[in-house]
Structures are given as structure tokens and as C-alpha cells.
Structure 1
Amino acid sequence: MPHIPRERIISLPRTDIAGIDAGGTKTHMRFLDPATGEVKHVQARSADYDSLEHLFYGCFDMAGCLPRSLVAGVAGRPGRDGDVRITNHPQWPTFRRRAFATDLEMSLVTINDMVATTAGVADLDESDWVPLTPEVTPHPGPALLAVSVGTGVGSASVDRT
């Protein structure tokens, strides 16, 4: 399992903002390249790490930058304090949001990954939909359900009424 020292992470150039989708199988990070301002992406295999903290370190290292602000969608249910145990890796220690953020001098929000997915549904239009039952007349309104089938099965709904 890769171990990236904290000293290496804190020496990285800073970027303003990044987002991480930390799943049980793979993790994606989108970030603003600090040199160009361009949106870039890195991907990691979650099981290659022994904790959410080390997984985040791996993403920062691959990206070559450390965000000042980070939103992390995680496969688990964050508590009120943002601490979370990852559902698909019960052997990992509980991630301590405040300690991690303070140590790296960043603003950090942890949310459930399906909450993040559901928030994005509002940005989809009909060209983004794929009918699963083409013989059934499509619902005239926007999508109301997001389902993610990966290492875990997650679902979320949005009631727009």
C-alpha cells in the first residue's frame, strides 16, 4: 500500500478548490491546476490505500497540488462533525474531518456520495438520460431517482414537489 509522507503533501503547490468522489472501488478527484487554472482529473484505486486519509494524500500527490477547499463525497454516512467510516472498507479507521482539515490548513466538507450524485441530477437534461425501458413512455418531468451500482449499491431520491 502506498504511503505518502505528510511532509510531501504539505509541500505541494496550493489550488483553490477540488472535489473528491471516494468510492469503495475507485476514487476520482477533479481540481483546478494551480499553474493553468484548467480543470483536471486523477483517479485512484481505493483498495490500494489503508485509510481515507492516505487515499486523499494519494490523490493530492497524483494531482500535484493541495486544495485550500475540498468537498469529499464518501461511501459512508458522515456524522454531524464530518467524521466518517467508509462502508466498503470497514477495516479503515474512522476519518476525522476536523483534524485532517486543520492539519492541512484546508476547508473540508464530507458528504455522502449519493447526496452529491443526487445534487447533480438537477443539471441533467434529456440528452443525458438513457432509457432503461424504451418501450415505456418516458416520464415528462425531470429525473427523480439516482441509483449507483458499484462495490456498494446506493440510491437517493429528490422530491421536487
Structure 2
Amino acid sequence: MARTQLVFDARAPTLYLDIDGTLHAGSAVIDDTGVITLDSGRELFEFAPVLVELLAPHPSIQIVLTTSWVSHIGCAGVVSYLPDALRYRVVDDTTRVRSRMSEVRDGTDRVSKILRHVSSHGVLSWLVLDDRAWGVPIGYARHFVHLSPESGISSPDARSRIKSWLRECQAL
């Protein structure tokens, strides 16, 4: 059954989603012909079924992509790799949010872009899944699930944190 594409809604629970180290182990490498493989030798999107299963009972959860993949293959390109059950949830990405040079230098650019996206769009309920979310300011840690690049969202701790957030979303 085809689902209707979600449209960005600041009131809807929002999952800020990285790809590498989150939905699979390792980092993507794109060759000259456009073929994407992982430096880990593992399967692309091997942990995506975990996210599909976790989100299945929660059809209103929307996804904003935070992955650097978007700057290489575009949002539509990234979405084309996602399982059908996740594709319709993607409502935006953070590529239009500009990084400050100091943030790029100290490695906090991804976190800063996410926080600016949340603030500028007035997102009320949100969670970040990322293996390299560095420099999270005090008071925002509960919104970030720091993942191991080897296990991504497949680790028991990550799954538990996601489930906990989903329960909070249901209570709203």
C-alpha cells in the first residue's frame, strides 16, 4: 500500500537522521561511476529495517536528513536508497542551513545546523540519530542519540532511546 508523502509540520515529531554510522556500519564511498559502497565492506542500509520496525506504529513521525550524502547525490537521491517505509517520511534536509567557519573547524557544524533548523522551523518534538554529533550544548543532550559507527541504531541502547522518545511522542 502506497503511503501519502508527509509534508513538513513543526508540530509533528521530527527525527533528524544521519546515514553513515546510523543506518549502516562504515562510511560511504562513491566511485567514478556513481556506485556507492561502504569502507567497512558491510551492506548499505543494513540497520534500516530496525528503524522501519520502530517507526511502524508511529505514522506521523517525519524525517529530516542531516547526512552529507545530500550534498553529493541530492535529497531525492538519498530518498531513493531508503526503504519504502521510510521514503514517505522524509520532509526536509539541513543542507540549506549554512555552517559557520568556526563550526566546521571545530567539528560542531552538524549539531549547529540541526539546532538552527529546529529553531528556525519551530520544531517542538525532535530526536537526532547520529554517530558524529559533536559539541551538543548543555540542555540539549536528551535530543541526541550518539551512535557507535559500528552498530548504529542496531545497538540495544540506541533502540531503547528511540523507543523512549516514541513513547513521549505518543503522550503529547
Confirm or deny a common fold (TM above 0.5).
Answer: no
TM-score by length of 1: 0.32
Task: Give the number of the structure whose residues are more often strand, by fraction.
Answer: 1
Choose between structure 1 and 2: higher helix proportion: 2
Structure with the bigger RCO (C-alpha within 8 Å, sep 6+) is 2
- Rg larger in structure: 1
TM-score using structure 2 length: 0.30
